[in-house]
Amino acid sequence: MLELTDATFLYAPGRGIDGANLRAVSGECVGVIGPNGAGKSTLLGLAAAALVPQSGRVRLTLTDAGGRGRQRRYDSDIGIGYRRHVGYLPERAPVCPEMTVAGYLRFRAALRGESFLRVRRRVEDILERCALRPLRKTRLAGLSFGVIRRVAVAEAMLTHPALLVLDDPFAGADLAFRESFAELLRAVAQRSCVLIGGHDPELLATCCNRFVLVERARVTAVVDDYGEAVGRLREAEARPAAEEVPAPGRKGGRP
């Protein structure tokens, strides 16, 4: 389970995330929506431990397999235990342009401490699942933005993380990949907790079963219904800058 408790990271007043409270569990795919500049990427960065909260807490609780049910808790600001269980696609994902697709994925898996045999098996699997096998020997420098983005998505999913955080993963993707990728995310969400940020709620609705609305650095709503999520987003986009944002609230699902 991912839990943010009064998590705050502000670049300036009203810019970033202020006092976010959110819970998401394995089996959920949660879409993070909001107007441009609302704080979506900051919220996702906090969840992925790419950003350390200035106040509050971000915690990941995992239950061991095997029937004993022992729980392990990791706080994002203590050590590297938290990050070992996270796959993260930032808004601007760095890659190594001189590497081939397969070489880059092997390199990233090895950095995470995976064994040689496991690296090979997982790279072959993710190449197939992300429709990258025909490009395995192609250098990243020769690929389009959309395909490079797909490679970065594959890297985030490579080690089967307990928490998968994706910031605008559909950017640059063609229609065929969007459809197959949404199906892949639904499958991943059966065993992991997935957070996805994006600008198009219609795309997120193809894979998400809950929506978090971020407005002016605050989480203002958590809803299960896509139609309500879109309505609240349109209200947020139309709200005058001088008008106060509504108090954080929820309808359906967990806070």
Mean pLDDT by 10 residues, the chain (255 residues): 96 93 93 93 96 96 74 89 92 88 92 81 92 94 90 91 93 80 88 90 89 94 89 85 62 48
Question: Can you give the pLDDT at residue 138?
Answer: 96
Cα–Cα distance between 241 and 123 in angstroms, integer? 47
Q: Domain spanning 2-89+162-238 has what CATH number? A: 3.40.50.300
The candidate with the shortest Cα–Cα distance to 233, out of 205, 255, 206, is: 205
**pLDDT for the residue numbered 252:** 44
- Measure the CA–CA gap between 177 and 193, rounded to whole angstroms: 22
**Model pLDDT, residue 237:** 83
Check residue 174 and give its pLDDT: 79
Domain-by-domain residue ranges, the chain? 2-89+162-238
Q: How many CA atoms does the CB half-sphere of 246 hold within 13 Å?
A: 13
